[in-house]
Amino acid sequence: MTRTEFRQVIRARRNQLTEQQQQNDAHQLLDTLLNVDEWVNASTIALYLSFDGEIDTQSLIQWCWDHGKRVCVPVLHPFSKGQLLFLEYTPSTPMRINQYNIAEPILNQLSIVPVATIDLIATPLVGFDSHGHRIGMGGGYYDRTLAPFLHSTTGPLALGLAHHCQHVEKLPTESWDVPLPCIVTPSKIWRW
């Protein structure tokens, strides 16, 4: 299968989950994340706002706020095409809908959080394989964001979040793909 075909098949699986399955997965995901030291010990966590059947991150965001963690979310960079910025996110953050129909904070330079200061970046994904490779929506935003930290001992830990149904044995990969060191599903922690 091609990458496009993998995206179609896995997105279809993900979108077949019922609302109840989505809610159960979101609650179980939080329980599983509490067994990930990097999650528990992080001070600043970047999370995405769920879209298109992605595992719901709202309970994770609320948990972070309840535990005094700084939360930031991605924003499409207005001047550097294909790049992400991360902005601090609070319950009162003013929002807008971006070109992909995804909610994001209205750009405020005072709210920008430098990527190097983030402890953990939770990445969305369409699918992942048994080797830590992820396939996203095809824009390469997270690959470009994470590439500078791929072989670094500093910077954020990239952690993928997914439903079980998003796992496949092997994905086709490209040279620019950034494998993830950790992916968490509702009942399993995958590490490479």
| Residues 167 and 160 sit within 8 Å (Cβ to Cβ) | no
pLDDT at 176: 73
| Residues 84 and 142 sit within 8 Å (Cβ to Cβ) | yes
3-12, pLDDT tens digit by residue?
889 999 999 9
**Model confidence, pTM:** 0.93
pLDDT at 139: 85
pLDDT at 173: 85
Domain boundaries, the chain: 3-191
Chain Cα centroid distance, residue 67: 20
73-95, pLDDT tens digit by residue?
999 999 988 899 999 999 999 99
Supply the CATH classification number for the domain 3-191: 3.40.50.10420
What is the residue-averaged pLDDT of the chain?
93
Strands 157-161 and 120-123: parallel
Token readout for 189 is 């922690």
pLDDT at 126: 95
pLDDT at 177: 73
* 53 vs 148 pLDDT, higher one: 53
| Residues 45 and 119 sit within 8 Å (Cβ to Cβ) | yes
